[in-house]
Amino acid sequence: MLTADSPATRFATRLLFLVAGFGYACWAPLVPLTKAKFGIDDHILGLLILCIGVGSIAAMVVTGMLATRVGSKPILLGSGFGFALMLALLPLAGSTPVLGCILFGFGAMLGALDVAMNLHAVEVEKAAARPMMSGFHALFSIGAFAGAAFMTFLLSMQVTTFMGTAICAILMAIVMALAAPRLLNTSAAPGGPLFVIPRGLVLVLAILAGVTFLVEGALLDWGALLITEAQLVPVAQGGVGYMIFSVTMTAGRLSGDWLSGRLGDFRTLLWGGLVALLGFVILLTANQPVVNLSGFALIGLGCANIVPVLFRRAAAQTAMPSALAVTAVTTVGYAGILAGPAVIGFIANATGLHTAFWLLAGLLVLVPLCARMVAGHTRKIAPA
What's the pLDDT tens digit per position in 154-193? 998 889 999 999 999 999 999 999 999 999 876 555 555 5
**pLDDT tens track for 228-285:** 887 777 776 777 888 888 789 889 999 888 887 788 888 999 999 999 999 999 998 8
Supply the pLDDT for residue 306.
92
Mean of per-residue pLDDT scores for the chain: 85
Q: Indicate the domain borders of the chain.
A: 7-183+196-376
CATH architecture, range 7-183+196-376? Up-down Bundle (1.20)
State the burial class of residue 166 (Cβ atoms within 10 Å of its Cβ: 0-12, 13-18, 19+). middle
Rounded to two decimals, the pTM is 0.78
CA 285 vs CA 123, 226, 288: distances in Å:
43, 13, 9
pLDDT at position 382: 45
- Taking residues 281-305, report their average pLDDT: 89
In whole angstroms, give the CA distance from residue 251 to residue 106.
28
**Of 93, 64, 68, the residue nearest 79 (C-alpha):** 64
